[in-house]
Structure 1
Amino acid sequence: MTARERILAILRTDPADTDCSHALELIDLYVDLVLAGEDPEAHLPGAHVHLRECGACRRDFEGLLVAVRDIGAGCSP
């Protein structure tokens, strides 16, 4: 892959991707779906794509998921 092709791959955005602010608005619902055993991709495809592509938002989601699971298990934050 040439340098130009690498740059274009980095800049390419999945058209289903939502932006960070929209994904973060949905993150609590996304966590609820995961905890309920639902398929969040089916319900929130744009947020799913964004969380797959955006490391910062994915870390926020993972942290919230851990926190909610810990609270549900009776652990103190």
Structure 2
Amino acid sequence: MKLTQDKLKSMIRMVKMTLDHEIGCDDCYDQLHAFAELELQGKTPEKAMPAVKEHLERCGNCRQEYEALLKALEAVAA
């Protein structure tokens, strides 16, 4: 992969957006079930687990995993 000026600018923007209290994908994945359960119970998981919420807003892969898990849990509950 060639590092173009646009890619470099994008990487710098991403670094600037990094927060001190961020969690990584592994930590997020470990907490997805609890986050989904709170949402299904009508609670506010973003208040109970703000780091997971922030990660899901930034990471498309984890967001897809979460959405799939939520659909599966909703199907089981129905």
TM-score range relative to shorter protein: 0.7 to 0.9
TM-score for the superposition, normalised by structure 1: 0.81
Alpha-carbon offset, residue 9 of structure 1 = 1.4
Assess if the C-alpha contact under 8 Å between 1:18 and 1:47 holds in 2: yes
Q: Please identify runs of 4+ aligned residues in structure 1 that moved more than 6 A.
A: none
Alpha-carbon offset, residue 51 of structure 1 = 0.6
Give unmatched runs, 5+ long, in structure 1: none
Matched, 1:52 2:57: yes
**RMSD of aligned C-alpha atoms?**
1.7
Q: How many aligned positions are there?
A: 72
Distance 1:6 1:55 in 2: 16
Give unmatched runs, 5+ long, in structure 2: none
Matched, 1:31 2:3: no
TM-score for the superposition, normalised by structure 2: 0.80
Q: In the alignment, which residue of structure 2 is the partner of 1:10? A: 14
Assess if the C-alpha contact under 8 Å between 1:16 and 1:45 holds in 2: no
Deviations 1:22-76 (A, max 9, x none): 0011000000010011111111111110011000000000000000101111xxx
Assess if the C-alpha contact under 8 Å between 1:17 and 1:46 holds in 2: yes
Task: Considering fraction of residues, name the structure with more helix.
Answer: 2
